[in-house]
Structure 1
């Protein structure tokens, strides 16, 4: 499969992807009294807790907009939402194929729909958290017109997450303890990403290593466009967009070349 056919192949499956994305969201909140409202309430509670713990308990400050205390919680919250876009689907990807044996054993079923749908489901769930973040930023006077760059800023992490999820979904079929390894890896990436701190706080000799991590660019650019009234840093953005695109293409081709063997392996 040539790489320029991939968008066309995904577009052909758009109805199934939408169907399974909505199905995943339905299962997520099935049986709960508040249903999808939890997608708004959970990040709202998280933001309130971060604001109290970091500004009142730890008295933490960040070099941002005069270092006013409410801003620190917004910076942390932004980093956590961006990281969640990546971590949730990647954590789930290792079992997404093995948990659906009835679908996988159907000859005509396009298995790639499953990992892509959990990426879309996670993205939609994170959108609710972004709504809370943007509302809080507006109330605190930090929201600016540069927020229009946000969808563009998030594109690399969406491609990176999809490509990574596709690879892990394949590995999870053959390595059944893959989920344990991924959980450990995600925790390591969590603290190696600038979620709770700016890159400038890292010793200079390690900053280059930090910028190799594609999540760093997305987290910092998200803070820039939402809270700092600054456009994205385009040099780092273009590089990480290219890397993410390559990872997605490799992941998609790897998945498509492996999926015919899934039925025998499950």
Structure 2
């Protein structure tokens, strides 16, 4: 039996498999998932003189560029900046952290399978866990960015909001959404190779059509709807609320967002598991 024919053999999943399937990476395949995530993080900085320090240097340099490029124009639109409550860089950075996490996963998703062809040929390798290491890697970089954010706020404002402890709760629903998107685009990337050219543009559009760059409340109502439909806008607003304004999370809003995220996650996982039967034939 050839590897391609063996890879096409599929055991009918049970109801339990459908329920816990998306989380199997943190159950049955936890060690493998964490090892892949570790390899992904370390591999990115292999050979670099500063190594993992680049995970702290890069976001700071990125913030400098965005602040210089947009600070003089955009900061006047933020009431908190005009009132001297917060520095523009701080407000901008928290939005970039949320967008950066999602964008990193979105851009990488179409190549998760096509970039690991050797895994496809292995019957025993669980391809469905591939989005998890990518998400963990993005979460690692988001965590490094938050460290830079905290240090920057201490330097500029001399304080940190205790409500920052709720940031993991705020980001969790976005993790569900991101996993669902990764599974969908990872499968599409096998059959439609051009999809990788679209995700970069989509990620950029989601940045400039979200509250990361501009407060939505200052926009005309006709444009505001477009920004509010962006799934990042709500999470960015919540992240700013707990990290900057000192507000408690919108528990009901986050609960609804989490339910929608879980629905998308299961939909994406189901799509991936269904379509992966043909991966070996295509690749």
What TM-score, normalized to structure 2? Answer: 0.87
Q: Between 116-125 and 64-73, report the one with greater CA deviation.
A: 64-73
Output aligned runs, 1:131-146, within 5 Å.
131-139=147-155, 140-146=157-163
Output aligned runs, 1:1-266, within 5 Å.
2=15, 3-6=18-21, 9-10=24-25, 11-55=27-71, 57-58=72-73, 60-61=75-76, 62-64=78-80, 67-68=83-84, 71-139=87-155, 140-266=157-283
- Alpha-carbon deviations, 1:29-80, whole Å to 9, x = none? 111111100001111223344455555x548332127632862111111111
Distance 1:20 1:213 in 2: 30
Distance 1:246 1:173 in 2: 23
Distance 1:53 1:183 in 2: 20
Distance 2:95 2:23 in 1: 32
Larger CA Rg, structure 1 vs 2: 2
Structure 1, gaps ≥5 residues long: none
Aligned residues: 265
Distance 2:261 2:250 in 1: 16
RMSD: 2.0
**Where do 4+ consecutive residues of structure 1 move more than 6 Å?**
none
Q: Between 115-124 and 201-210, report the one with greater CA deviation.
A: 201-210
- Alpha-carbon deviations, 1:79-125, whole Å to 9, x = none? 11100110011101111211111111100000122222111111111
In 2, are the aligned partners of 1:25 and 1:121 still within 8 Å (CA)? yes
In 2, are the aligned partners of 1:85 and 1:158 still within 8 Å (CA)? no
What TM-score, normalized to structure 1? Answer: 0.92
In 2, are the aligned partners of 1:51 and 1:70 still within 8 Å (CA)? no
Distance 2:64 2:230 in 1: 29
Q: Aligned pair in 2 of structure 1 residues 144, 66: CA closer, same or farther (>3 Å)?
A: farther
Q: Aligned pair in 2 of structure 1 residues 143, 50: CA closer, same or farther (>3 Å)?
A: farther
